[in-house]
C-alpha cells in the first residue's frame, strides 16, 4: 500500500546493541556542558496553536480539527481515515540535526484515540530526519510504539512495521525523547529507554509530496489515509549535543 502524505556513542555491533543512557542530554540542556542548545518549537502553555510558533500546519482533505486544551493542542483526524493532517517544523527555527554529533527531539503527548486499517500504518506518527536525510519514523498506537522500516533489507517495500515496544500511550500525557547519534536511535519515555534500533533511509520513496527528501525535518501528526488518531500535544523541542570530545563521556548500557 502506498504511503499517503499530506501536502506540503551508541554503536550497533555484532550481537550487541549499545543503548545510550540519555539523562545526560537532559541534564546538559540546562547548560551544564558548553555547546548544548535547546530550541523549543512548541510550548502549549502559551495557549496558541503550533502554527503560531515553530510549525506549519497542513491537512488534506479538510476535516481535521485543532483544539486548545489542557496546556496544549488536540489534533483530531478521527472524522475519517481518509484525512491526513499534521505539523511540519519551520526550517528557520530548527537547528541543524547532525547525526555525527547527536541530537534529541523531545515531545510531550498523549494518544487519546487511534485506529488503523493495517499493521503498517498509525494514526499518529513522529518523523525526524537529520541533515543527511537519514532518521526515523515512529508510529504510535494505543498499546505500542514502533518504527517504520526502510527498504534496505527488502528492496521496493518501504514503510513496514519494524521493531516496536508494548507501551500504553493513552494512559497519561508523557514526555518522549528520541535520541539519534550516528547510526542508532533510542526512544525514552519519562527518561526511561524503551526502544532502540538503527536509523533508516526513506529516500527511495517516490510519491508526492515527498517530505523524506527534506533535511532537518520534524513532523508530528497523521500522515496516512489508512489510519486516524486524536492526540494531545503539549511540547516539542530539539536539543543539539556538544562536539565529539564531550560524547566520549556518555554512559551507556549494553544488551546482548
> Could you read off the pLDDT of 73-113 as tens digits, one per residue?
999 999 998 999 999 999 999 999 999 999 999 999 999 99
- Provide the pLDDT for residue 113: 98
> How far apart (Å, rounded) are the C-alpha atoms in residues 244 and 254?
20
Domain boundaries, the chain: 12-244
pLDDT digits over 151-207, tens only? 998 888 899 999 999 999 999 999 999 999 999 999 999 999 999 999 999 999 987
- Provide the pLDDT for residue 210: 84
> How far apart (Å, rounded) are the C-alpha atoms in residues 107 and 98?
19
What is the DSSP secondary structure assignment for residue 48, as one 8-state letter? Answer: S
Backbone angles phi, psi at 151, to 5 degrees: -110, 25
Q: Are 217 and 135 in contact (CB under 8 A)?
A: yes
> How far apart (Å, rounded) are the C-alpha atoms in residues 26 and 92?
23
| Topology of domain 12-244, CATH | Jelly Rolls (2.60.120)
Q: 3-state SS of the chain: helix, strand, coil percent to 5?
A: 10, 45, 45
pLDDT digits over 197-245, tens only? 999 999 999 877 789 999 999 999 999 999 999 999 999 999 997 654 4
- Provide the pLDDT for residue 197: 98
Residue 24: pLDDT band (50, 70, 90) is: very low
207: nearest Cα among 230, 225, 219: 225
Amino acid at each position: 500500500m502506498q504511503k499517503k502524505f499530506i501536502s506540503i556513542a551508541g554503536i550497533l555491533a555484532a550481537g550487541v546493541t549499545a543503548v545510550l543512557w540519555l539523562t545526560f542530554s537532559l541534564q546538559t540542556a540546562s547548560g551544564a556542558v558548553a555547546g548544548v542548545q535547546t530550541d523549543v518549537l512548541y510550548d502549549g502553555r502559551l495557549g496558541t496553536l503550533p502554527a503560531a510558533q515553530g510549525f506549519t500546519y497542513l491537512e488534506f482533505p479538510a476535516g481535521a480539527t485543532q483544539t486548545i486544551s489542557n496546556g496544549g493542542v488536540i489534533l483530531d483526524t478521527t472524522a475519517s481515515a481518509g484525512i491526513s493532517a499534521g505539523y511540519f517544523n519551520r526550517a528557520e527555527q530548527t537547528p541543524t540535526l547532525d547525526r555525527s554529533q547527536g541530537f534529541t527531539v523531545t515531545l510531550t503527548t498523549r494518544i487519546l484515540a487511534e485506529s488503523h486499517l493495517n499493521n503498517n500504518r498509525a494514526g499518529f506518527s513522529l518523523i525526524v530526519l537529520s541533515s543527511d536525510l537519514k532518521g526515523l519514523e515512529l508510529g504510535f498506537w494505543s498499546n505500542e510504539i514502533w518504527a517504520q522500516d526502510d527498504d534496505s533489507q527488502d528492496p521496493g517495500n518501504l514503510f513496514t512495521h519494524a521493531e516496536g515496544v508494548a507501551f500504553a500511550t493513552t494512559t497519561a500525557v508523557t514526555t518522549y525523547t528520541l535520541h539519534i547519534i550516528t547510526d542508532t536511535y533510542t526512544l525514552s519515555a519519562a527518561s526511561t529507554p524503551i526502544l532502540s534500533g538503527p536509523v533508516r533511509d526513506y529516500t527511495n520513496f517516490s510519491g508526492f509530496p515527498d517530505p523524506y527528501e527534506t533535511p532537518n525535518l520534524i513532523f508530528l501528526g497523521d500522515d496516512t489515509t489508512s489510519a486516524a488518531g486524536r492526540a494531545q500535544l503539549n511540547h516539542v523541542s530539539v536539543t543539539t549535543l556538544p562536539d565529539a570530545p564531550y560524547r566520549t563521556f556518555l554512559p551507556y548500557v549494553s544488551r546482548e
